[in-house]
Amino acid sequence: MNDTTKAIQALFHQLLMQRSGEERLIMGCEMFSTSRALIRSSLAGKGLSESEMAVQIFLRTYQNDFPPEILEKMMKRVRMYWENRQAM
């Protein structure tokens, strides 16, 4: 759904492009961090281990970007990373 007029879209784009590349990068990084915090918050209290929390955050972030067989491999790697990190 897109209920924003073309004029407002153009204005928003113009205002965004007036910012420096560094400012736009910072904005994007902050939005990504906020989305991860929201995902983590939605999973809190479910009794997930840190490795399973990482897998769930990964899935909610990237599940529509990769085919299932690739996602499965990536989830195994995320689990392995966190499990090895906790063993240290």
CA triplet 80, 85, 88: central angle to 5 degrees?
A: 130
Q: What is the pTM of this model?
A: 0.76
Are 60 and 39 in contact by the 8 Å Cβ rule? The answer is: yes
Per-residue confidence (pLDDT) for residue 30, from 0 to 100 = 98
Domain spans, the chain: 1-44, 47-88
pLDDT per residue rounded down to tens, the chain (88 residues): 788 999 999 999 999 999 999 999 999 999 999 999 999 999 999 999 999 999 999 999 999 999 999 999 999 999 999 989 877 7
Per-residue confidence (pLDDT) for residue 87, from 0 to 100 = 78
CA gap 81, 17 in Å, rounded: 38
